[in-house]
Amino acid sequence: MLFFYYLLVVLLFIVALPFLIILSFKQKYKVSLPARFFLINNPPFKKKGIWFHACSLGEVNSLKTVFKELKDENINLSVITGTGFKSAKEVAALHVRFLPFELFLPFWIKKQKTLVVTEAELWPLLFIVSKLKGTKTVLINARVSDNSYKSYQKMAWFYRWIFASIDEVFAQSEVDKKRLEELGAKSVVVNGNIKTFSKPIVTKEYKKPKKKVIVMASSHEGEEQMLLENLNLKKDEMLIVVPRHPERFESVDRLLKEFSSDRNLNYAKIDDNLRTDIVLCDKMGELVNLFAIADVVLLCGSFKDGIGGHNPLEPAFFGCKIVSGKYTFNQKALFSLVENIKVCSADELKNIDFEDIKPSKVLHAGDINILLNRIR
């Protein structure tokens, strides 16, 4: 099986060679393709350590919390895309390479302590060669989506061959575990999505007001106005507005003063005593601390088109009720990890009763310590 697979890889390389040469001159690929398919400026890792492999920017960013915890280890990282490489190079402690095409892996791979591969990067020779050279092999953040499940089943024999060289698998959910085991995975542990490892830390504890706390989080220009116009603030509710950019603190201050005066509401800038009807948070780094006491979070950056939303995981870790706008295209992956987010337009907000919204919940939350103990 291995011989025939390697022969197929050689044939594919020969057929694709003219196209690879042409593409290598394009700006987008001028670094990654020569490195991956011709080993230009792409030598093997010099030192033995924990070798992570991630495809692109998203996977590299999701691993940064793990890298931080492994600061005392020698960390090697291979990637596929140029954006992933650029992001990885920003982490000073990493030794970064492009993963070569499989043709070169038998000669390029050196023995490592552990190989840790993210998600669906199931390159057969990556695992097989690493295993043959005495490296422990681990697949993390593994999942089999509903859309992929049938195609995986049709190629079950192929995946069983790959999983025979993978020592441990960390699945995102029980459903993923069952599907992965059907495909031949062994020693499967459910440990959630690695994007949930970075849990927010409260740096200052505010006393919870008697009123229900609504936080308008990371608001952009124009959002405060449209949300204020449609928010029916009740007597037992208070609103804390947290603008996204500090250069807007003064303009938002003027807006809130005028709004409060028109509505006969009490207004103040934030201090240790949250007593007024409306509060402006004009300090950086307080949002997580306010999520800790919030009942409802209006997650901004999503009520106007063009921004794409903000991270819902932070308020979800505190079980806040989350209301978001419809424009969340930059945060689709993170929104899929949170349950019970209420999505609406700004003008629909006036018809929403917060009592009818369920508290948010992080789906597939993982424990970073379980992972660290297995790969060290």
Q: What is the pLDDT of residues 187-213, one digit of tens each?
A: 999 999 998 988 888 999 999 999 999
Contacts of 118 (CB under 8 A, 6+ apart): 52, 53, 54, 55, 59, 62, 63, 139, 140, 141, 194
With residue 68 as reference, give the H or E element that holds it: helix 57-69
Domain with CATH 3.40.50.2000 in the chain: 212-362
Closest CA to 95 of 120, 110, 76: 76
Identify the pLDDT of residue 246: 93
Quote the CA–CA distance of 140 and 162 in Å, as a whole number. Answer: 15
Strands 278-280 and 188-190: unpaired
The owner of tokens 């306010």 is 290
Cβ-proximal residues to 159 (8 Å cutoff; 6+ apart), any chain? 122, 152, 183, 184
Residues 6+ apart with CB under 8 A from 191: 140, 170, 171, 172, 366, 367, 370, 371
C-alpha distances out from residue 363 to 187, 299, 335, Å? 22, 18, 10
Domain 212-362 in CATH 3.40.50.2000? The answer is: yes
From CA 223, how far away is CA 60, in angstroms rounded?
A: 32
In 3D, which of 276, 284, 336 has the Cα closest to residue 312?
336
Residues of the chain with pLDDT under 50: none
Task: Please say whether the beta carbons of 104 and 54 come within 8 A.
Answer: no
Measured from the Cβ of residue 296, the count of other Cβ atoms closer than 10 Å reads 21
pLDDT at position 291, please?
Answer: 98
pLDDT the model gives residue 71 = 87
Per-residue model confidence (pLDDT) at position 90: 85
Q: Which residues contact 340 (CB under 8 A, 6 or more apart)?
A: 321, 322, 357, 358, 359, 360, 361
pTM of this prediction exceeds 0.85: no
Give the residue among 126, 134, 132 at the shortest CA–CA distance from 48.
Answer: 134
Q: For the stretch 176-209, what's the b/e string if a residue is b when 16 or more beta carbons lie within 10 angstroms of its beta carbon?
A: bbebbeebbbeebebbbbbbbbbebeeeeebeeb
Tell me the backbone φ, ψ of residue 202, rounded to 5 degrees.
-80, 125
Domain limits, CATH 3.40.50.11720, in the chain: 2-197+368-375
Q: What is the pLDDT at residue 199? A: 81
Architecture of domain 2-197+368-375: 3-Layer(aba) Sandwich (3.40)
CB 321 within 8 Å of CB 299: no
Q: Angle of helix 2-23 relative to helix 124-132, nearest 10 degrees?
A: 120
Residue 246: DSSP 8-state = G
CB atoms within 10 A of CB 12: 13
* β-bridge partners, 338: 362
Residue reference for tokens 């490489």: 85
DSSP letter assigned to residue 72: T
Predicted confidence at residue 147, as pLDDT, reads 80
